[in-house]
A and B are shown apart, each in its own frame.
Chain A
Amino acid sequence: MQSLKSASVTNAVRSAPRISQRSVSRTTRPLSTLNSSAITTTLRPQTSRTVSRNPAIGLSTTLLTSRTQHARHGSSSASSSEALQKTPLYDLHLAHGAQMVPFGGFHMPVQYKGLSVSASHAFTREHSSIFDVSHMVQRIFSGSGAREFLERVTPSDLASLGVHRSTLSVLLKADGSGGIVDDTILTKLAEDKFYVVTNAGCREKDNEYFDQELAKAKASGLEVNQEQLDGWGLVALQGPEAEAVLADALDGNTDLKQLYFGQSVYGKVKLDGGKTSAPLLISRGGYTGEDGFEISIPPSETVEVTEKLLQVGGVEKVQLAGLGARDSLRLEAGMCLYGHDLDETVSPVEAALSWIIPPNRRKADAGYYGAETINSQLTPKSKGGNGVVRRRVGFIVTGAPAREGAEIVAKGDPTTKLGRITSGCPSPSLGKNIAMGYIKDGQHKSGTEVEVLVRGKPRPAVVTKMPFVPSKYYKSA
């Protein structure tokens, strides 16, 4: 029987109390919901080196089995150095019968009693679900130099981005390799104020990254400050009934029909006793491919607002959903999970994310980290560039589900290696096995027939365009 450590990557980094490590430029809000223990367990984000690449170990290392310590966090045995953090909704999850797992340094719900992952997945696509994503990191960058700062570390064009508009982006390695440090959603709140959300699993890494970059920025005379919304809630309401549920919960001053995908607005939720919540940043978008909203909530109101959404919607329209369904939904939507489909060895071009790089930044001297490398990748060999050697594509696999680490080989010839699967699962919506992975450039066209080794046997697979399930974003005509 394999030991726990052999097939899972458990890199827990013990860090000193957070406040003292931070550089001067960063201020933090009070940590109202953290454990009293100041020592937190955090993750060293997974790089391709540390992922078990043995195809025989087909255990899915998706959201469920991430890289935190698997030690049983039983009440008496947990030392302070192993303590996981709790989101503001921790008690709510337990009250709803959640099965909790460690993820990103937090106790997170993977599913709820009486609702299997498949059922929760289906419910999201038919009605709506609420996901607690408060473990993710919310930051505000402000100052006259904030835009230039962010345009140095990402390939985005934040000058053209409208106010209250968002874009998917990536933080790029300072060494110019084009490698991705983390993926992120950037929202322009004002010309000198940006709201940035990054992954829980990259919290400490991103903290160090931003601290270093802010120091450089200050040294070069840019005025930019970072504020981390510690302890704040972030709740994703996703599904065709999401708009109806949220509209009923809001105070009537916000017209959600005018809020399109990629846009955001401040709105207030009606609470009990005739009160309303603080203005909450509501962004239309999400991680499921469905219409939906992500709502940022101050620590003191996260529980009340979430309970209000559940109450107003009712169990026929909205249910809590956990990381289990979140992963199968995002995979059907063709979305990347950092640490699996993206890591520091992957560039946005290889990752099929070139679309996040606007035309006016597609030049070697665009001024962001890795611009030269990325530009060369964007330029095919025939035009004097380098192109890429591998590309992220989708697969439909026949027979057994292919999971992370499974090798992609040529049809009929298992000795010809073509690439590797980085995410995969049985698709609840399609009843087929879907997967995402990197394949040799030249073999990446949709329809290419290949094979994937699962438990030592080659299974037929075909390169498939993503999303696997059509997206239903709310876009203007």
Chain B
Amino acid sequence: MASIARCLRIARPSVVSAFAQSSVRIARPFSVTANNELRKYTREHEWIELSDDKKTGYVGISSYAAKALGDVVFVELPEEGKEVHAGDALGAVESVKSAADINAPVSCKVIASNLTLEESPSTINKVPEDHSASGGWVAKVQVTDQGIADLEKLMDEEAYKEFTAAEDH
């Protein structure tokens, strides 16, 4: 099935309209903000944030993706215990118009899914990068040794901001 990145490309306007110009661009902050070194992004707009133990973490989709997908009406969550390699489908996020895979950013095992998203899929639109109890995170995972290595290949917050800014052109 299609990745989030692919869905966003298809949804992208053929002419850069006011819609694209206004709602999706992320401004570069003036001052240098402290990077959250533990948060990484994939080119397909998923994020993973490692907890302090460096073993477990949370996975979700980025604000950029959530905005561009539009109203999310359904989220397919992974089952507990599911083991995946980087790039494997964890679940899916669907709007009225389209369905996109949520792919695992790194090799990991699912410890828990965010069941809030079953009743309120729109939580993902409101707080997509929030990994608190009321956030729009998708899954809590345990990262394998391979997963730790996979993290190196991902983008940090700054790099992801540049990546998405480039995507808008």
Residues of A within 8 A of B (CB): 1-2, 4, 7-8, 56-60, 62, 64-65, 70, 72-75, 84, 94, 97-102, 107, 110-113, 116-119, 121, 324, 327-328, 400-401, 403, 425-426, 428, 433, 455
Contacts and interface: CB of A to CB of B under 8 A. Distances in A.
A64 B10 contact: yes
B14 A102 contact: yes
A425 B95 CA distance: 9
Contact of B71 (A113, A116, A455): A116
Among A98, A99, A100, A118, max chain B CB count under 10 A is at A99
Nearest to B15: A100
B98 A65 contact: yes
B3 A97 contact: no
Nearest to B101: A455
Given A59-B100, A110-B11, A118-B71, 16 more contacts: A1-B6, A2-B3, A57-B1, A57-B2, A59-B7, A60-B98, A60-B99, A64-B11, A72-B14, A74-B16, A99-B19, A101-B14, A117-B95, A426-B96, A455-B76, A455-B92
Nearest to A99: B19
Size category, B interface: 35 or more
B33 interface: no
B127 interface: no
B17 A2 contact: no
B154 to A, nearest CB: 14
B81 interface: no
Contacts, number: 119
A463 to B, nearest CB: 21
Contacts of B95: 117
B89 interface: yes
Q: Which 7 A-B pairs have the closest CB atoms?
A: A59-B2, A73-B14, A99-B19, A426-B73, A97-B18, A116-B71, A113-B19
B169 to A, nearest CB: 8
A70 B92 contact: no
B92 A97 contact: no
Interface of B: 1-3, 5-7, 9-20, 22-23, 43-44, 70-71, 73-74, 76, 89, 92, 94-100
A425 B44 contact: no
Among B12, B89, B96, max chain A CB count under 10 A is at B96
Contacts of B74: 400-401, 426, 433
B1 A56 contact: yes
A57 B14 CA distance: 23
A64 B23 contact: no
Given A59-B7, A99-B17, A116-B71, A2 B23 contact: no
B3 A107 contact: no
Nearest to A101: B14
Nearest to A86: B15
A111 B9 CA distance: 16
Contacts of A74: 16
A401 B20 CA distance: 27
A425 B96 contact: yes
B97 to A, nearest CB: 5
B98 A64 contact: yes
Contacts of A57: 1-2
A361 B68 CA distance: 50
B106 to A, nearest CB: 16
30 contacts: A1-B6, A1-B43, A1-B44, A4-B6, A4-B9, A4-B10, A8-B10, A59-B2, A59-B7, A59-B98, A60-B97, A62-B97, A64-B10, A65-B10, A70-B10, A94-B17, A99-B11, A99-B13, A99-B19, A100-B14, A100-B17, A107-B14, A110-B97, A400-B76, A400-B92, A401-B99, A403-B99, A425-B96, A426-B74, A426-B94
